[in-house]
Amino acid sequence: MERTVDPQPIAPAAPEEFGMVQVWWGTGKGKTTAALGMGMRAAGHGYRVHVLQFMKGGAGTVDDIRGEYNAMAAMPGMSYENAGHYGWHGRLDSSDDEAHEAHADAALARARDLLEASTRADLTDSLALDGPPEDGVHMLVLDEVLYAANRGLVAEEEVQGLVDGKPADLELVLTGGHEHPEYATEVADLVTNVDKEVHPMEAGQGARQGTEY
């Protein structure tokens, strides 16, 4: 017998047990996907969630507008911003290191500002679902920040500083990176290695709309 649960209206609420540091890294596909899915789950409970992307500024092989942007824009309590440079660092996309480093530094500064804002907020209370992230958030996803550190666009010590500056009740989620980020995992409460066994891109399959963007 199937059991269905009727959806309930999403109203502002406060999480009772947030405050952990999560790290999602590895060679496999799904790190960002998992983090965004968890963010959607939190937002569905009425918690305020914000996603700051470090290295997804667009590329000539995919559309600038990705499906997750539309989904987050439609989800109450969930917001995002993209600080990445157009083109992927290290690829033949006519971009240079200085431009990528400048964008990564800007994202790092923005992350610090968001952490400070959440420090000033009362995260044990509900937050306006349509309020700006500068008013504080319950969950902050720093997408691809570990890739940025792997590639030397930001210093590992700077990422550690973000963790150290986290308010006690904020759930901080760090994603990205193919290399084990010991500097982050040693201070994390949850570490997930998304390992690759088979990936269609190795056989020449390009990014597909609806799965990769």
Summarised one tens digit per residue, pLDDT across range 38-82 is: 999 999 999 999 999 998 655 555 556 678 899 999 999 999 998
Longest dimension (CA), the chain: 59
So what's the pLDDT on residue 89? Answer: 43
So what's the pLDDT on residue 85? Answer: 53
Residue 175 pLDDT greater than 90, yes or no: yes
Q: What is the mean pLDDT of residues 172-189?
A: 95
Residue 17 pLDDT greater than 70, yes or no: yes
So what's the pLDDT on residue 57? Answer: 54
The model's pTM? 0.89
Residue 152 pLDDT greater than 50, yes or no: yes
Cα 177-178-183 angle, rounded to 5 deg = 60
So what's the pLDDT on residue 92? Answer: 43
Residue 142 pLDDT greater than 80, yes or no: yes
- Spatial separation of the C-alpha atoms in residues 189 and 200, rounded to whole Å: 32
Residue 154 pLDDT greater than 90, yes or no: yes
- Spatial separation of the C-alpha atoms in residues 115 and 121, rounded to whole Å: 10
- Domain 22-177, CATH among 3.30.1330.90, 3.40.50.300, 3.40.630.30, 3.20.20.70: 3.40.50.300
How high is the mean pLDDT of the chain? 88
Asked if 133 and 117 touch (Cβ cutoff 8 Å), the reply is: yes
